[in-house]
Amino acid sequence: MSRVLELINKLKDEHSLSTDEYRFILDNYTDEDARSAAEMALKVKQGIYGNEVFLRGLIEVSSICKNDCLYCGLRRSNTNCQRYRLTKDEILECCKEGYNIGYRTFVLQGGEDAYFNDEILCDIIKSIKESYPDCAVTISLGERSRKSYEAIKKAGADRYLLRHETATSEHYSQLHPEVMTLENRMQCLKELKELQFQTGCGFMVGSPFQTNEHIARDLKFIEEFSPEMCGIGPFIPHHATPFAEYSAGSVELTCFLLSLVRLMHPRVLLPATTALGTMHPNGRQMGLLAGANVIMPNLSPQSVRKKYELYDGKAHTGQEAAENKKEIENTLESLGMYANASRGDFKRI
Ligand code: SAM
């Protein structure tokens, strides 16, 4: 057995490797190793979640953002971005439509838009929970104060997604303006965990300046942080950002990393992301076959879907659209998988 395969087996059995071991895998793995890792990851996933895939309705509540992340099409400096913000009624309307189609988790994601202060956001969360007590609410609205996270939790939010983006400070500062620090990002993640959110971290694959050493540290961070959810998708350039000319991340490497994260944390909720679906017509299926078990189709109003443009060509039609649930279910069935209509919480032991 090759050293890489030995290490992948060790990860499956012990759920831990050193940063150097992760690095060794990344430097030396072959397509065949990736196929073996995917097979193992799929089995591990089946052992816990069966053949079921959780569906989340993604509501992109605002394209207004105070931040200036160098990779993101919503960055403040992009003056050509069409900005919008959904009203409370519009968000509730999305939930109503989603609920009727069968979604039982609503993910409210957006730029860091000061309009959604604690009072407004908590009122929206409470209204969703009052109308749909059997549904989970996930928030993904960036870095906030501990007090704010506390208020959101008290209002009824169940989960919070905040990708760490990269676990290496120097790389973090190559991707973000100076005012944003990895230290603060990590502090937010720690607080979210302490407040008992089901917490999601994650990173982009192939972001500018990323090396295997960075990815190895990301894997070690994910191992130690032990998130309930983990978003890993390829970086895709956006024409109006400083990274317009950089290449997109690899679909194959993204799938391999999904497999490693599944072996590391068998119970983790792992989405096959929209970015993966954007990069390859079968990207989502490839992610699911590599060990992912969540998909997050778009439930935003049709009129704004094009405006939430994080990267060029972001998919929002076909199987990326929440209303095409039947089509999504058919694709899952062709993979021997089934859409699970429940809240789909993290399964604790
Ligand atoms: N503002 C919130 C935050 O910072 O967590 C949530 C929205 S943010 C746009 C969601 C995620 O989109 C980011 O964590 C980032 O990893 C991803 N993203 C942004 N630009 C991207 C790009 N060009 N390619 C791929 N993913 C991107």
pLDDT, tens digit, 9 for 90 and up, residues 207-244 = 999 999 999 999 999 999 999 999 999 999 999 999 99
Q: Tell me how far the alpha carbon of residue 122 lies from the centroid of ligand 1, in angstroms.
A: 23
Kindly give the parts of the chain with pLDDT less than 70: none
Out of 64, 163, 182, 205, mutate this one to test ligand 1's pocket (max ligand atoms within 8 Å of CB): namely 163
Looking at residue 341, its pLDDT comes to: 81
Name the closest-CA residue to atom 2, ligand 1: 142
Looking at residue 318, its pLDDT comes to: 87
Looking at residue 194, its pLDDT comes to: 98
Q: Tell me how far the alpha carbon of residue 278 lies from the centroid of ligand 1, in angstroms.
A: 14
Q: Tell me how far the alpha carbon of residue 64 lies from the centroid of ligand 1, in angstroms.
A: 13
Name the closest-CA residue to atom 26, ligand 1: 235
Q: Tell me how far the alpha carbon of residue 14 lies from the centroid of ligand 1, in angstroms.
A: 31
Looking at residue 21, its pLDDT comes to: 98
Protein residues with CB under 6 Å of any ligand 1 atom: 71-72, 74, 109, 111-112, 140-142, 162-163, 165, 204, 233, 235-236, 238, 275, 310-311
Q: Which atom of ligand 1 is nearest to the CA of 71?
A: 23
Q: Which atom of ligand 1 is nearest to the CA of 140?
A: 6
- Strands 105-110 and 159-161, how do they pair? unpaired
Q: Tell me how far the alpha carbon of residue 134 lies from the centroid of ligand 1, in angstroms.
A: 28
Looking at residue 317, its pLDDT comes to: 86
Q: Which atom of ligand 1 is nearest to the CA of 74?
A: 9
Distances (CA, A) of 201 to 29, 160, 225: 25, 9, 9
Q: Tell me how far the alpha carbon of residue 310 lies from the centroid of ligand 1, in angstroms.
A: 7
Name the closest-CA residue to atom 25, ligand 1: 235
Q: Model pTM?
A: 0.98
CB 41 within 8 A of CB 263: yes
Q: Which atom of ligand 1 is nearest to the CA of 203?
A: 16
Give the C-alpha separation, 87 to 91, whole Å. 6
Give the C-alpha separation, 205 to 236, whole Å. 9
Q: Tell me how far the alpha carbon of residue 82 lies from the centroid of ligand 1, in angstroms.
A: 17
Question: Phi and psi (nearest 5°) for 141?
Answer: -125, 30
Looking at residue 316, its pLDDT comes to: 87
